[in-house]
């Protein structure tokens, strides 16, 4: 979906935020081609209180003309309309 948004829908930048402690989400972001930018301290909120969040981004310039390892044809075909991502944990 990231490739579709950047290449076909002409988005310039995608941003993903995940709780620092959410290792699985952080690994998934990297596998999807997102670059880690840094940590926003005390920027997220969960039931237990405030948390730090990691910011990842992907920009149009990151696109490789070759096949994108983070995207599959099935995921692209079933993506449908883009939905905004939340920043909460």
pLDDT score of 70? 55
pLDDT score of 73? 41
pLDDT score of 64? 76
pTM of the model: 0.69
Task: Give buried/exposed letters for 20-41 (b at 16+ CB in 10 A, else e).
Answer: eebeebbeebeebbbeeeeeee
pLDDT tens by residue, 8-44: 999 999 999 999 999 999 999 999 999 999 999 999 9
Q: State the CATH architecture for 2-77.
A: 3-Layer(aba) Sandwich (3.40)
Q: Are 21 and 59 in contact (CB under 8 A)?
A: no
Q: Are 18 and 43 in contact (CB under 8 A)?
A: no
């Amino acid at each position: 979906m990231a490739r579709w948004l950047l290449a076909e829908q002409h988005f310039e930048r995608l941003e993903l935020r995940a709780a620092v402690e959410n290792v699985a989400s952080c690994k998934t972001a990297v596998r999807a081609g997102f670059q880690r930018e840094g940590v926003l301290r005390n920027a997220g909120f969960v039931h237990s209180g405030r948390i730090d969040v990691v910011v990842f981004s992907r920009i149009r310039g990151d696109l490789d003309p070759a096949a994108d390892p983070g995207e599959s044809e099935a995921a692209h075909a079933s993506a449908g309309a883009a939905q905004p991502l939340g920043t909460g944990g």
